Amino acid sequence: MPFPLPRRTLKPYAIYFNEKVAGFLMFNSVKEELGGYWIYRIMVDKALQGRGIGKEATKIMIKEMAKLPDAEKIIVGYHPDNKGAHHLYASLGFVDNGNRFGREMAVIYYLK
């Protein structure tokens, strides 16, 4: 069976710190559920966590996503037990309106 083609709407990026790959992020350039653009991944090497790398990368990603057509909100889902993700998104201004998808909560960053 052939492998499915990747979704060309997903935008993957490496996160660099001191000229070395420190993580990975990816977002969708097409609106999805809740009428917003979704962040699919933000990952930082465990050895480099706690240095603000993920927060700075997320800020840059938000600026890029804000350039997408009719960008009004950015959405990210995460498991409620992930306290690090909760702290990160809350500190950046993401709001929990009670949206849930299975076991994940979805928080929203309003651009306008």
Residue among 10, 84, 27 at smallest CA distance from 54: 84
Residue 70 lies in a domain: yes
How many residues are recorded in the chain?
Answer: 112
What is the Cα–Cα distance from 112 to 100, expressed in whole angstroms?
23
Residue 3 lies in a domain: no
CATH number at residue 75: 3.40.630.30
pLDDT at 8: 87
Residue 101 lies in a domain: yes
Count: domains in the chain = 1
Torsion over CA: 19, 20, 24, 26 (sign): positive
pLDDT at 5: 55
- Give one DSSP letter per residue of 7-71, joined into a string: PTTEEEEEEEETTEEEEEEEEESS--GGGSEEEEEEEE-GGGTTSSHHHHHHHHHHHHHTTSTT-
pLDDT at 103: 92
pLDDT at 38: 97
Residue 73 lies in a domain: yes
Residue 1 lies in a domain: no
Residue 5 lies in a domain: no
Residue 4 lies in a domain: no
CA max distance for the chain: 45
CB 58 within 8 A of CB 26: no
pLDDT at 112: 79
Instruction: Give the pLDDT of the chain (112 residues) as one tens digit per residue.
Output: 565 656 689 999 999 999 999 999 999 999 999 999 999 999 999 999 999 999 999 999 999 999 999 999 999 999 999 998 999 999 999 999 999 999 999 999 999 7
Residue 42 lies in a domain: yes
For residue 31, what are the domain limits?
10-110
